[in-house]
Amino acid sequence: MTDLLALHRQNPDAYPFLLQSAVADAGRHANARYDILFAFPGETLVLDPAGRLHGAVSGTDDFLTALDEMWRQAGKDRSRPGDVPFAGGWFLYLGYELANQIEPRLRLPMPAGALPVASATRIPAAILNDHRRRETLLVAETRDQLQRVQTDFANLSPTPPAALPQLTLHEDPPDSYLRGVERVKQYIVEGDVFQVNLSRAWRGERPADLMPADVYAALCRANPAPFAGLACFPGGSIISSSPERLLQLHDRIAETRPIAGTRPRSATNAGDRALKRELIAHPKERAEHIMLIDLERNDLGRVCQPGTVSVDEMMALETYAHVHHIVSNVRGRLRDDVTPGQAIRATFPGGTITGCPKERCMAIIAELEQTARGAYTGSLGYLNHDGDLDLNILIRTIILDA
């Protein structure tokens, strides 16, 4: 199969976005069949940090409403060959602060960098690696685009990733984080929330020669995961090795795959087995996971046909390079009138990275973290012309400012 990262590295302007199933033996992993390199970005719908919407759609300042209108205008009857997941549409980036438009009562701090709050970039062509069939597929809307991809393939000269320089990182003050945890405990006792997911960041100075593709390659080697992604924008790059799916729409079936409950890996097989038994039996982990399943069922229930929302995989254990996770899968059939933007609105951001109830948790997170999350706990993914989409949750993520 083709080295898609090498093609991005050779021409990042033509191939700026990569979604990759960076797990060992990806062909056997149910959610890791394809890698997708998105080609030849076109017009882009952008929500900037000032709340202004830029792009071809006018008459609204709401990003998801504009996304739906752009999708309708492009035509939604274009077919895809076989089970290819993407054959033209949009690459999506949704920053965490898009939640301000979804829950208007929120007053989340806005990011200060040059990355957009959200964007949808028109993508007419892509290169896909199918791990199950061990083959590379080219998809394009015109013969000229297909020929251009083939020419770039012919001229491809893979280069090994450069060694990363030593970076000095500064951690957010632990004392501040621990004070936030104590305040969350008070909110729980007072009945505001059941759980809040606080975060903390590490920051450092970016060397001028630090390339996003090299950082991404190093991250995927260190922490391979099924929903990894690299997205390069004029204002910076998003690099993620995420294990978690926020939302998939396929043939009008909506699925979300919450992860809640974690234990570290052991150095031995016997130790791994013991840690997994302890994780799945722990009453706190089980209670938290079931609470978040209920939250996701409620989110999907807003846009799915009555009686169709179900949990078809309940508290499964998944093992990754460094941790074990408890994972479930919640699915339902969309109502006939529901658009892609409405499905995103019902589920974004993911409850596993906010807490429950979601809106109150986001307000508390803003109060205690006192900074914008930006890309972190947002989403990368794609939207097809036929309305199918797939979005991850941006955890285990690095943001490189331009």
CB 358 within 8 A of CB 310: no
Q: How confident is the model at residue 23 (pLDDT cuts 50, 70, 90)?
A: low
**Tokens for 362?**
């986001």
Q: Answer whether residue 8 shows pLDDT above 90.
A: yes
Q: Answer whether residue 229 shows pLDDT above 60.
A: yes
CB 6 within 8 A of CB 159: yes
Around Cβ 218, how many Cβ atoms within 10 Å? Answer: 17
Q: What residues are paired with 228 via a beta bridge?
A: 20, 241
- Give the pLDDT confidence score for residue 147 in this predicted structure: 94
**Tokens for 355?**
């807490």
Fold of 4-156+199-252+375-401: Anthranilate synthase (3.60.120)
Torsion, Cα of 261, 194, 241, 312 (10° steps): 60
CB 129 within 8 A of CB 388: no
pLDDT 10s digits, 104-137: 999 999 998 889 999 999 999 999 999 989 999 9
pLDDT 10s digits, 174-221: 999 999 999 999 999 999 999 999 999 999 888 888 899 999 999 999
Q: How confident is the model at residue 162 (pLDDT cuts 50, 70, 90)?
A: confident
The pTM (predicted TM-score) of the whole model is 0.95
pLDDT 10s digits, 267-305: 999 999 999 999 999 999 999 999 999 999 999 999 999
Give the span between the Cα atoms of 95 and 110, in whole angstroms.
Answer: 10
Give the span between the Cα atoms of 325 and 338, in whole angstroms.
Answer: 32
Write the CB contacts of 177 (distance below 8 Å, at least 6 apart in sequence): 198, 200
Q: Answer whether residue 89 shows pLDDT above 90.
A: yes
